[in-house]
Amino acid sequence: MQHKSRRQFLTHSAALAAAPLLAGVAGSAIAQAPERKLGVALCGLGSLATNQIAPALLKTRNCRLAGIVTGTPSKAEEWKKKYGIPAKSVYDYQTMNRMADNKDIDIVYVITPNALHLEHTLAAAAAGKHVFCEKPMEISVERCQQMIDAVKKAGRMLSVGYRCQFEPNNLECVRLAKEKVLGDVKIIDANFGFAMGDPTQWRLKRDLAGGGSLMDVGIYCLQTARMLTGEDPIWINASEAKTDAVKFREVDETVMWQSKFPSGVVANSVSTYSANGLAGFRAATTRGWFGLEPAYFYNGNRGRRSDNTEINIPVADQFALELEDFADCIINKKASRVPGEMGLSDVKYLMAIYESIKKGRPVSLA
Ligand code: NAD
């Protein structure tokens, strides 16, 4: 699947697409715009940056697209024209340290392949910038820790792009779980996958991706279980399945795992690069159930509860929501809901899943 078709997949549910819903943007915004919008430089102008993040930054009330970091000169020209970015705010990966002199840029948003997040975060921190980093944060716990340390040393903030933590339908489910509206959550079933096309892309290269479907989309299922329980897993058992050993020579194709949480909740998950149609979760409770299908798309996430109530809260742009929140945290010196430490702990649990696969037995995390 080319990036384009991955995007089409994630933006599926056209009838629910954002445009008509702009008026009722859930969770958006605080009444007044601040005096100066924080400047965001996008580092890596690939699919997500081009199709989601740059458009989202046109909708945010407290931050704006102010700069770019790209290794492709033709993209630099295109973006300068399209978004009115001045030449002084255009960098490549080697010159991004010069941002230290650029007062228009407050935040660097790292949107490069997973294993480059460390290098680009270190450069941004050295230039004295706040860092917003895409998921997964990096490909090892040690590398995540280096990112946390560098940003801390620079006296700046680091957050991870967990958009579901700001998506109102996902948050409504967290409320149902917390307030025990349908009783206690007991079992969670969360799955995410897509049929991977282009066999040459970085997502299939271990050095750049760190892993396959688990690192890329399984992380959403892990986040769901952590969000709904408010807990961290204490036990994980996992295995993998491969139907194409050539294409998925370097990374996992399909991973199945179970986790237990301190309260006794059990979560079952599958991540895959071999099939479309898995992008939701269901929580079984003592009195019924609730869930979203889809839960993880860019638009149109919706669901139901066992008491026949629909979950369908309109949201114009979840990326705008997460960026506004990060800018708010910086402006108001508030802790982020999605700090680097959360990104690191998720990578720790992903590594435990791989360890369980490798050892062929459960891994205890208690
Ligand atoms: P992409 O391949 O479309 O873009 C990656 C960008 O990095 C490209 O502009 C590419 O030129 C650049 N790059 C720099 N050095 C590179 C190198 N050595 N090899 C390959 N590319 C290099 O990928 P994407 O889909 O935009 O993903 C980027 C990041 O965003 C990943 O960490 C991914 O997990 C994350 N992502 C998050 C979401 C989300 O919903 N939050 C969705 C998609 C991707």
6 CA → ligand 1 middle, Å? 12
Helix, strand or coil, per DSSP, at residue 285: strand
Ligand 1 binding pocket includes 233 (Cβ within 6 Å): no
Tell me the pLDDT of the chain (366 aa) as tens digits: 334 445 544 554 333 333 323 333 344 444 455 578 999 999 999 999 999 999 999 999 999 999 999 999 999 999 999 999 999 999 999 999 999 999 999 999 999 999 999 999 999 999 999 999 999 999 999 999 999 999 999 999 999 999 999 999 999 999 999 999 999 999 999 999 999 999 999 999 999 999 999 999 999 999 999 999 999 999 999 999 999 999 999 999 999 999 999 999 999 999 999 999 999 999 999 999 999 999 999 999 999 999 999 999 999 899 999 999 999 999 999 999 999 999 999 999 999 999 999 999 999 998
d(CA 329, CA 324): 9
CA of 341 to the centre of ligand 1 (A): 22
Residue type, 273: Y
Ligand 1 atom with least separation from CA of 114: 32
Check: CB of residue 338 under 8 Å from CB of residue 158: no
What are the residues facing 339 on neighbouring strands?
159
Cis peptide before 136 (omega within 30 of 0): yes
* Structure token digits, residue 247: 């294409």
How far lies 288's CA from each of 173, 183, 238, 311, 312, in Å?
13, 7, 27, 15, 19
Provide the whole-model pTM: 0.93
Buried b or exposed e, range 337-352, using 16+ CB within 10 angstroms: ebbbebbbbbbebbbb
Return the best residue to mutate from 112, 160, 297, 346 for the ligand 1 pocket (most ligand atoms within 8 A of CB). 112
State CA 333 to chain mean position distance.
22
Number of Cα atoms under 13 Å in the Cβ half of residue 38: 24
Residue 227: burial class (beta carbons within 10 Å; 0-12, 13-18, 19+): buried
Q: Is 71 in the pocket of ligand 1 (CB under 6 A)?
A: yes
To which residue do tokens 């705010």 refer?
89
- What's the token pair of residue 120? 């680009």
Q: Which residues are catalytic?
A: 135, 220
Helix (H/G/I), strand (E/B), else coil: 68: strand
d(CA 213, CA 17): 26
Cα three-residue angle 321-150-134, rounded to 5 degrees: 30
Judge contact between 94 and 87, C-beta under 8 A.
Answer: no
**Can you state the percent helix, strand and coil of the chain, rounding each to 5?**
40, 20, 40
